[in-house]
Structure 1
């Protein structure tokens, strides 16, 4: 049996658990006593925010967690989208991070995928804006 997880919500905050949406009407602490797939409202990306390739991938992976009935199709779409990204980027740091994302996705570690993708948003923004990128040193 897994360890219980405590989650604190503010009044009006939402949590997505196994495809269901719960909204706290007051400050509350929930204790999940078994394994459950959940996302906190603060980590949920809205469709209008999917303006870049990584954000689109984030939205797809988030769908795996939020919509259990269509998770298989969303997972397939995520794998295909990630493969396209690996072929499109040339930045060495981005490629290394995307390979890690690929490994996490292959292990069905969607929470970790989302965390990794959120950390990559600033790099993606810099690449899109054309900011100078770090160069690998050649020995």
Structure 2
């Protein structure tokens, strides 16, 4: 990690003051600062879903409200989506969230950002899927 960089570990925010290497030796949920989406960047339905799941990962002791919001938002996305790639991704994301695998769900959501962009642009015929 670089000086001044933050890492979010099990709800705690850690900031390093100098270059450092960290080794997490047990099972923890974490996000690097570059993976954290700001509220102002949650400008599309899929990005809003990312923001909700991110909140669940960053606040693991208080997810009830976020989980309820996730359920409503995910169901609304599935109800309006017609793109098969997006629907399959949403199903996989829901399974990951249901198993509290939030980091993996965030990776899968990020991988769907290009699909969503293509849908919004009206060019969603063949968007290559890339794991984030």
Decide which moves more: 119-128 or 103-112: 103-112
Q: TM-score, normalised by structure 1?
A: 0.85
| Structure 1 gaps, min length 5 | 1-8, 135-139
Q: TM-score, normalised by structure 2?
A: 0.89
**Equivalences, count:** 126
Computing the radius of gyration from Cα coordinates, the structure with the larger value is 1
Q: Which segments of structure 1 move beyond 6 Å, counting only runs of 4 or more?
A: none
Partner of 1:20: 12
Decide which moves more: 115-124 or 60-69: 60-69
- Which structure has more relative contact order (CA 8 Å, sep 6+)? It is 2
Decide which moves more: 117-126 or 15-24: 15-24
| Structure 2 gaps, min length 5 | 127-132
CA distance in 1 between counterparts of 2:77 and 2:91 reads 10
* Greater fraction strand: 1
**Correspondence list, 1:4-15, <5 A:** 9-15=1-7
Instruction: Determine if the alignment matches structure 1 residue 76 to structure 2 residue 68.
Output: yes
Cα RMSD, aligned residues only: 1.3
Decide which moves more: 71-80 or 118-127: 71-80
**Correspondence list, 1:100-139, <5 A:** 100-134=92-126
Q: How big is the shift at 1:60?
A: 0.3
